[in-house]
Amino acid sequence: MKQTPGKIFLADQRGLVETSTFRRYSTFNFGAYAHEHKQPFGSLYAVNEETLGSGQQLKFTAEQASYILLIPVTGDVLVTSSVGQTHLGVEQMQLLTVPANAIIQLTNPYETELVTFLHFWLEAGDAVAALECQTFDFQLSATENQLAAVVSSPTAGQALPFIVSLGRFAGREEVNYRLEKDASLFAFVLGGAFEVEGRLLHEKDGLALWDTEEVELEALSNNALVVVVELAKQLVPLGSSQT
């Protein structure tokens, strides 16, 4: 049986940057973390799991025009930008479309609790003139045993070059995800374990796949949770052998 080309990014091989205020695990190169084998997957150039101390804040400056996808995992996050401040909670995703040099501030609003969230960064090209912010609500109960699109094109009158889906699965439940023509896929396991196109993925593992029209996912544990990003353009492989 032909194996879909791809590359696994193991959770325990992610880059770690930690200070007294935050802890960040990076699947790809980001900020102070750099590794020759953690190059971007096409337009997807950062996948980070961030834990932020109580009352603490982080500021990010976009080095290039980007889409920034924020996904709270535990607790809420205050997102401050040039268009104002929003309170982002669990069962929400926020998409920021930002020009180069835009500054985003993320704040933990709690006095005694940590918060954890994901932030994905994708190249947006040179056409971004002003910062835009959109919030997408979803219910995990509506994603049971399926991959439900949360962020998809078109939105706000403008097509996006990616689709973000989320699914929560019972053990041994399967789904076949069909990609658009010439698209590629990145899967990130938030909880539990999956087999994706013959690869075993545990919690916080990532998997990049290309040159395929359909991807088969099977949950290997109950309440297994996965985020899938479908990238609209065919990607140049990552310069490494299949895994």
Q: What is the pLDDT of residues 95-150, one digit of tens each?
A: 999 999 999 999 999 999 999 999 999 999 877 889 999 999 999 999 999 999 99
- Choices 3.20.20.370, 2.60.40.10, 1.20.1240.10, 2.60.120.10: CATH for 140-231: 2.60.120.10
| Whole-number Å distance between alpha carbons of 199 and 107 | 36
- Choices 2.60.120.10, 3.30.565.10, 3.40.50.1360, 3.40.50.11780: CATH for 14-137: 2.60.120.10
Question: Residue 191: is it exposed, middle or buried by C-beta count within 10 angstroms (0-12/13-18/19+)?
Answer: middle
Report in angstroms the alpha-carbon separations of 232 from 159, 179, 215.
11, 9, 15
pTM: 0.93
- Decide: 103 and 60 in contact? Cβ < 8 Å: yes
Q: What is the pLDDT of residues 11-38, one digit of tens each?
A: 999 999 999 999 999 999 998 898 888 8
